[in-house]
Every structure is written in C-alpha cells, then in structure tokens.
C-alpha cells in the first residue's frame, strides 16, 4: 500500500464511507481507515434500517440537505442496480411512508408542516381518530395528531455501507480495516496519520469516526458524546404492522420524549427505539450489550403497550451508538487550528438519512473548494 494520498478518511461508517465513494468517483486518491470491518456492529449504522424523511424540525438547512440526499439515494440505487457484484444489495430504499405523531399544535408537528409548505413536500395532516382508523395498529390519545409523508420511507443502512464500500473500491479507493488510528500530526509532507499498522500521509484528512472521534481528535472531547441506545424488535401481526400496511413512524410524547419505529419487513419484528435519553459512554470502554440494564427493554415495552397495543413481546434486542453533539446539530467542515484536517460528525441519531448528501458535500469541498449545497449552518 502506498503512503501518500489526496485524502485519508479516518472512520469508514455512514459519513466516511459516503465521502470515500464520492471522492474516489471524482478521481481523488483515497485511503479509508476503520477500526473494524464495515458494515459492523460497533458504530451507528447497523440494525438493518433507518428512517428517511424530509419534513424536519431543525430548520431550512436540514430540509435542503435532506432533499439533496433523497436525490442522491435514487442515484445510488441506480448505480447499485447497474453493478452485477451488488445485485444482492439492489434495494436500498423502500417507500413505506413516514408518520409523525405528536401533541396537537406542538412545535414538533408545526415545524414539520412549515418545512413541507416551504419546500413543496407532499404531506397529510391527520387527526388521532382518522389516524387510528387508517392504521388500526396504533392507539393514539385524542390530544395528539399526525403528519404523514407518503413519499418517505426506510433506508437499508448496512446494504448502503456495503454498496458505498464496493463502489468506492471500484473507483480506486483503498480500505484499511481492523486498524485503529492513534493520532494525526502536521508533518513536512502534509498531515500524517499514525495507526497501529504504520503511518500514512495526505494533504487533507477527514475524521468521521463517529462516537469515537474524540479519541482521534482530543479537541472534540465533550463536544462529541458517545451515547448507548437500545433497540428492540417486537412480535407483531403482519396484517397490522407489516410492510405495506403500516408506515415507519416517529412519536413525540411531549417535550423531549420521542420514539421511532419501522414496520415488520420480513418477519423479524416491529422495530422500535427511543431517540432521547440513553447511557453516556466513556471513550475506549466496552459497550454493554442489550439487556445489561433493566430499562433497555422496559422503556421500549411500555411504549409498545401504550401506542402499539396489538404488538407482542420482545423478539430480540440490540444496541447502537449516537454521536451526540450540542443541540443535535451536525458538525461539518475544517477543524479550527488543524490545517487540512476536516470533521464530519454530530449525527446525533438522526444523521444517516443525510449521509449521501454529507458525503458528496465533503467530496466537493475537498476537490473544488466549494459545495453546491450551503452547509454553513453546520460549520464547526
């Protein structure tokens, strides 16, 4: 393996693998370094699926980036279909519709509605009574209502990582797996990346190490916080909660308490997770498995009983990591005081749907010095 590259990417997960693909496709020489073998279960991209939606509560920059990402997911799907080696991963997106449920008149729903109207996103506003008549699997209090996005759905996250990996390598990117990055230093030839298996040099380095980014860039300690999140798959009758009869959903119970779910796609169960809360992890410590804490199942099961009453008990559980940033705000761009070192992170549990747009944006920055999408709202 050569040691000099245009760009070295530390962390080949959602943001990093996407950026590697777009950079390699543009002709840049790229080295991706990962502590594991992506896709894997030690980061934020496993668990098979993620929700894709474009109605957003966090303002116009996020909506614009989501819309761009949606177009790029369609382009990726086409590239996958055209690749004989990726035939088994052909479906990366499924249009299930996404239903957001929250207290009537809440900012949670109002801001989504405003973003739909501002950007021309198709939506329906639905009362609790009409919602439960349309999807009888839900039980929703009268004080709540819903916003339905018919064109949204789910992304198959692990298939996407595999697709990006294979396509990036097709365009010449190199991938170093099971290799921990120790530090990044400014040297005579540019930025030098020191790993367990040797040192590599590049003009630009992109750190996209997710929840563990602060281990590589100590300045991020306290700004990127690893949070352990339990996820459960619950037994559910297909005629109520199966694909084609039930949407993906987000439920805000009021304030910060928020849950999300994905219909039963293949008999593995109705997937449910909680967006708020979680257990803060110390860098370098092992991740406690699902069930290590009583509340892992307790909180999810209580939500299922209240809102999804025809679902049954837990079939399986897992944990993933959030890389929480202050205000759940993305952090994208050059790191202050680190010439040629860039960071893409702060996904905070809602970043995967944007990873196509973020990867292409980073690629544009590092090859042309500018981006087609204004992401100044995410600067570090």
**91-112 pLDDT, tens digit each:** 999 999 999 999 999 999 999 9
CA distances from 284 to 212, 230, 281, 287 (A): 8, 19, 9, 9
CA distances from 372 to 27, 102, 118, 362 (A): 18, 34, 20, 11
Concerning whether 195 is annotated as a catalytic residue, the answer is no
Lowest mean pLDDT among 86-90, 179-183, 216-220, 359-363: 86-90
Query: 25, 45, 49, 112: which one is catalytic?
Result: 49
Q: Read off the pLDDT band of 285 (50, 70, 90).
A: confident
pLDDT of 1: 64
Q: Where are the alpha helices (H) located in the chain, listed in sequence order?
A: 14-25, 60-82, 107-119, 128-134, 157-170, 213-216, 238-241, 295-307, 355-368
Q: Read off the pLDDT band of 149 (50, 70, 90).
A: very high
Give the other-Cβ count within 10 Å of 263's Cβ. 25
Query: 112, 229, 253, 271: which one is catalytic?
Result: 271
pLDDT of 268: 92
CA distances from 188 to 31, 61, 176, 185, 200 (A): 19, 38, 23, 10, 12
- Give me the percent of the chain exceeding a pLDDT of 90: 90
Q: Read off the pLDDT band of 82 (50, 70, 90).
A: confident
Concerning whether 353 is annotated as a catalytic residue, the answer is yes
pLDDT of 372: 83
Burial state string for 71-91 with b = 16 or more CB within 10 A and e = fewer than 16: ebbeebbebbeeeeebeebee
Query: How far is it, in rounded angstroms, from Cα 309 to Cα 303?
Result: 9
Query: How far is it, in rounded angstroms, from Cα 62 to Cα 51?
Result: 15
pLDDT of 81: 87
The position carrying tokens 């999804």 is 308
Query: 25, 45, 46, 229: which one is catalytic?
Result: 46
Give the other-Cβ count within 10 Å of 169's Cβ. 16
Query: 165, 228, 240, 320: which one is catalytic?
Result: 320
Q: Cis peptide leading into 39, omega within 30 of 0? A: yes
Q: Give per-residue pLDDT as tens, 292-319.
A: 999 999 999 999 999 999 999 999 999 9
Concerning whether 46 is annotated as a catalytic residue, the answer is yes
Query: How far is it, in rounded angstroms, from Cα 72 to Cα 278?
Result: 31
Query: 45, 275, 299, 350: which one is catalytic?
Result: 275
Query: How far is it, in rounded angstroms, from Cα 318 to Cα 43?
Result: 12
Q: Read off the pLDDT band of 88 (50, 70, 90).
A: low
Long-range contacts formed by 86-91: CB under 8 A, 24+ apart: 86/162, 86/163, 86/166, 86/167, 89/156, 89/159, 89/162, 89/163, 91/156, 91/159
pLDDT of 282: 83
Average pLDDT, integer, range 140-167 = 97
Concerning whether 49 is annotated as a catalytic residue, the answer is yes
Concerning whether 350 is annotated as a catalytic residue, the answer is no
Q: Give per-residue pLDDT as tens, 3-61.
A: 899 999 999 999 999 999 999 999 999 999 999 999 998 889 999 999 999 999 999 99
Query: 240, 299, 353, 361: which one is catalytic?
Result: 353
Query: How far is it, in rounded angstroms, from Cα 35 to Cα 149?
Result: 37
């Amino acid at each position: 393996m050569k040691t000099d590259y245009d760009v070295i990417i530390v962390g080949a997960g959602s943001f990093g693998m996407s950026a590697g693909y777009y950079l390699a496709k543009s002709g840049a020489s790229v080295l991706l370094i990962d502590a594991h073998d992506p896709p894997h279960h030690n980061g934020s991209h496993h668990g098979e699926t993620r929700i894709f939606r474009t109605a957003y509560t966090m303002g116009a920059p996020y909506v614009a980036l989501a819309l761009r990402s949606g177009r790029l997911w369609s382009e990726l799907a086409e590239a996958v279909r055209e690749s004989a080696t990726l035939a088994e991963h052909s479906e990366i997106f499924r249009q299930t519709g996404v239903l957001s449920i929250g207290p009537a008149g809440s900012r949670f729903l109002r801001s989504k509605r405003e973003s739909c109207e501002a950007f021309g996103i198709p939506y329906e506003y639905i009362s609790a009574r009409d919602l439960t008549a349309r999807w009888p699997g839900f039980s929703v209090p009268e004080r709540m209502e819903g916003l339905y996005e018919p064109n949204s759905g789910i992304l198959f996250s692990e298939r996407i990582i595999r697709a990006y990996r294979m396509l990036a390598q097709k365009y010449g990117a190199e991938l170093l797996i099971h290799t921990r990055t120790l530090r990044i230093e400014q040297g005579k030839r540019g930025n030098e990346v020191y790993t367990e298996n040797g040192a590599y040099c590049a003009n630009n380095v992109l750190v996209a190490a997710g929840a563990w980014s602060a281990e590589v860039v100590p300045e991020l300690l306290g700004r990127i916080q690893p949070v352990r999140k339990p996820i459960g798959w619950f037994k559910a009758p297909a005629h109520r909660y199966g694909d084609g009869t039930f949407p993906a959903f987000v439920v805000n119970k009021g304030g910060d308490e928020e849950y999300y779910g994905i219909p039963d796609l293949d008999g593995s169960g109705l997937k449910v997770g909680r967006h708020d809360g979680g257990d803060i992890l110390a860098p370098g410590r092992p991740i406690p498995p699902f069930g290590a804490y009583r509340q892992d199942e307790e909180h999810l099961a209580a939500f299922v009983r209240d809102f999804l009453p025809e679902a049954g008990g837990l079939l399986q559980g897992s944990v993933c990591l959030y890389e929480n940033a202050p205000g759940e705000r993305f952090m994208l761009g050059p790191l202050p005081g680190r010439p040629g070192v860039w960071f893409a992170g702060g996904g905070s549990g809602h970043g995967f749907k944007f990873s196509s747009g973020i990867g292409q944006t980073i690629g544009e920055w590092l090859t042309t010095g500018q981006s087609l999408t204004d992401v100044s709202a995410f600067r570090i």
